[in-house]
Structure 1
Amino acid sequence: MPEPQDEQHAFHSCILDEDVIGYSNDTQPLHEDVVKIVAILEGAGIPCCFIEEYALIYYGSGRKQNDRVLCVPDDQHKKAIDLFNACSTILKPFRPSPMGGVGNLLRTYPRFKVVGQSDFWVIVTASFANIPCEPANIVKSIGGLPYPKLSVYAQSLLDTQNGTDLEELIDGMDLSQEWGEENLDLDGSIDVEWTRRRKDAVQAFGGNPIFLGLSTAPKQRRAVWQASVLRKGARMGLKKPAAVYATRWRRHGSQDPTSIQRNLI
């Protein structure tokens, strides 16, 4: 029989940490709570938009919710942090999330927890996501929350070699090669300079950039886009028959996910 585990050496998953799910007496946020927090920045004239998980969910991905990562212009990042710090009855500075592996630069940005709620926010710079965070590039959901326009977000994921999220976005919106030709800049190569800056930042943070899987080779945008679109069928797996599903997240003829009223989106 196996020896009983020493309690101190038992496996522990950070998914259940209070740093991830909040405290036992926390409540779930309501949509109006999220809108009020965004209004803190918008009311001060700071453009902002959700990226990462919440942007992918808005665009139809099946990604699980995590911290709300809010992108603001670089030159207004400090002002945004100061505004959140000033709202001490609503938001409290909080330690970084234990989620994420090597190169998780979100840990270098200020993180906040909503008082009394299991809701965490991180405010990052536009350059972190390689997104021009300005009103012309932002769209509001039916619920009034800001997201990068589809073409802006797709271009960002393409140029930053974020293949996993790019494929999530393609599958969520059932994007085609033709859509990319019409809405994206597919000429030339990915943003190699952004990649170099990301690697330098990870190294400065104490991580090893070799584990990021980011290449400074000038990959051609069009080739990356086409390969990501062509793999839609392979990503569906055996449980999603092609006769029913257009992608792993979309049935044939299903409604545009951005046109559906959804809680917290």
Structure 2
Amino acid sequence: MSNVDDHPALPGLRDYSGEETSLQGVSEILAVVSQLQDANVPSCVIGVKALRYYGAARVTDEWDLCIPDNKLEEARHLLLSAADGAKYEVAQGPYPVPWSRRHAFPCFRLKGYNFWFILVPSSDCFVDPSIASHVEKSRNGVPYAALVQFSRSLLLQQMVADIADFIDGMDLTVDWGAENIGFATLQEQGAAFIERRNEQAMADSGRYGFLSPQPLEELWDEMASKEAKERRIEPMKQGRYFTRWRRIKSPEDPRTKDRPV
């Protein structure tokens, strides 16, 4: 087994000196979730791994794990100071990008393995894993941000590419948004979310994660329209896919499939 300390990761790059994990890390993230749960620290998966759960063919070696703000420090301490010897170590965070603050959050690695996860405070993603309606479990038991709350989260963060992949993965519509998201309330909640996010972005010299007010219903309607979904289908997929990620031959909900995410 490789010693990860012999190969320090450069900023924004990953050190692949460790061994590969099983089923793309599903068993490993379940072990993290279980350890936190045993200490009464709720959590759920967000980010690209959640997009994969909802059908988007995205690729990442990192898991984003949402933690309530008031439990974040407890979770960090727990993962680094297990009584039987800590399995995890502090890792180099992801490279900063203008639309995100992921680089600012605690990042960990399973010692000796190519498995990384980031603890994201719930206030940054508008998902609270301590609220039952904000979480749903996959068939293999991984807790993910629930469908409706994840849609709200992506909208408030104005993650346009992620919104498109989410819509195409689940084949969501303009009407689905009108019936489920609650745009009027979300728009009001968004004002406080943006104010808090921008205060934290200013601490990063205003470079990362800064948001400006947006009409969220208009954003959803534009991304979820039939025309927009058809435009996102690649030419080679025309006639075989009904969204960018959903094949005509296999129209079932991606959450019902037995597959690692």
Q: Please give the TM-score of this superposition, normalised by the length of structure 2.
A: 0.84
Match of 2:73 among 70, 74, 78: 78
Is residue 154–residue 166 contact of structure 1 (8 Å, CA) maintained in 2? yes
Structure 1 residues 214, 33: closer, same or farther in 2, change over 3 A?
Answer: closer
Match of 1:158 among 113, 132, 155: 155
Residues 196-252 of structure 1: CA deviation (Å, up to 9, x unaligned): 32233222123436xx67323xx33321111011211111132221x3211110023
User: In the TM superposition, what is the alpha-carbon distance from 1:81 to its structure 2 partner?
Assistant: 1.0
Check if 1:94 corresponds to 2:91. Answer: yes
Moved more, 252-261 or 115-124: 252-261
Is residue 169–residue 246 contact of structure 2 (8 Å, CA) maintained in 1? yes
Check if 1:113 corresponds to 2:109. Answer: yes
Check if 1:63 corresponds to 2:58. Answer: yes
- DSSP-derived class of the 1:142 partner: coil
Shift >6 Å, 4+ stretches? none
User: In the TM superposition, what is the alpha-carbon distance from 1:46 to its structure 2 partner?
Assistant: 1.7
Structure 1 residues 111, 249: closer, same or farther in 2, change over 3 A?
Answer: same
What is the correspondence of 1:170-249 to structure 2 with a 5 Å cutoff? 170-187=167-184, 189=187, 191-208=190-207, 214-216=211-213, 219-230=214-225, 231-241=228-238, 243-249=239-245
Q: Distance in 2 between matches of 1:100 and 1:128?
A: 15
- DSSP-derived class of the 2:66 partner: strand
- The percentage of aligned residue pairs carrying the same residue is 27
Match of 1:43 among 9, 32, 38: 38
Is residue 67–residue 128 contact of structure 2 (8 Å, CA) maintained in 1? no
Letter in 1 for 2:60: Q
- DSSP-derived class of the 2:108 partner: strand
Is residue 56–residue 169 contact of structure 2 (8 Å, CA) maintained in 1? yes
Partner of 1:5: none
Structure 1 residues 20, 37: closer, same or farther in 2, change over 3 A?
Answer: farther
Partner of 2:5: none
- DSSP-derived class of the 1:245 partner: coil
Q: Distance in 1 between matches of 2:18 and 2:43?
A: 30
Q: Please give the TM-score of this superposition, normalised by the length of structure 1.
A: 0.83
Q: Distance in 1 between matches of 2:204 and 2:233?
A: 37
Is residue 42–residue 67 contact of structure 2 (8 Å, CA) maintained in 1? yes
Q: Distance in 2 between matches of 1:135 and 1:46?
A: 13
Q: Distance in 2 between matches of 1:148 and 1:122?
A: 15
Structure index of larger Rg: 1
Q: Distance in 2 between matches of 1:106 and 1:74?
A: 14
Is residue 102–residue 208 contact of structure 1 (8 Å, CA) maintained in 2? yes
- Unpaired runs of 5+ in structure 1? 1-15
Is residue 194–residue 212 contact of structure 2 (8 Å, CA) maintained in 1? yes
